[in-house]
Amino acid sequence: MTTGVKAVGTWVLLAPRNALLGVLWAYRKVISPLYGQVCRYHPSCSLYAFRAIQYHGALRGTGLAAWRVLRCNPFSRGGIDDPPESHHTYFDITEHGFVRPRKED
């Protein structure tokens, strides 16, 4: 019972994250291919945003992603730039990149 309640709570907690991930997923499927690779970094800004939001949540992830987009301009050096590592414990990442409460087994 308590684990069920906890899982629901975690789902609610993860909902904004999944909503943003859905938007980014659609963007990467539909809009990104329009102009091919233009990003000066690896991972590209949208993949950076995706990972940042996966691991750091809607708020901090969006902040990180916004800062990255600002850094990515024709006069920046570019190169390899991964989002900061995080030590999450309470959620898993599905094969499509969404987050769900970690199964306790």
Partner 1 sequence: MGAIDTILWPIRWVIEALLVGFHSLFESWGLEGASGISWVLAITALVLVVRAALIPVFVRQIKSQRRMMEIAPQLKKIQDKYKGKKDQFSREALSRETMALYSKAGTNPFSSCLPLLLQMPIFFGLFRVLSEAGLGNAGVSYMTQDLAVAFANAELFGLAPLSATMNAAISGEAVLAEGGTTAVVLIAAVMVVLMSGSQFITQLQIMAKNQSEEMMASPMYRQQRILLYVLPLVFLFSGVFFPLGVMFYWLVSNFWTMGQQFLVIRNMPTPGSQAAKARDERIAKKREKLGLPPLGEAEEEDAPEQTKPAQRQQPVGKSRAKKKGQKPPKKPDDDDGLAGQAAKPKG
* Cα–Cα separations (whole angstroms), residue 40 to 11, 47, 76: 35, 13, 8
**Minimum CB–partner distance for residue 3 and partner 1 (Å):** 15
Q: Which pair of tokens denotes residue 35? A: 């102009």
Q: Read off the DSSP letter of residue 1.
A: -
According to the binding rule CB under 8 A, does residue 3 interact with partner 1? no
Are 82 and 43 in contact by the 8 Å Cβ rule? The answer is yes
According to the binding rule CB under 8 A, does residue 5 interact with partner 1? no
Bridge-based pairing state of the strands 91-93 and 99-101: antiparallel
Within residues 58-87, the interface with partner 1 by CB under 8 A covers: 69, 72-80, 85
Within residues 28-47, the interface with partner 1 by CB under 8 A covers: 28-30, 32-43, 45, 47
Interface ranges with partner 1 (CB under 8 A): 25, 28-30, 32-43, 45, 47, 50-51, 54-55, 69, 72-80, 85, 92-97, 102-103
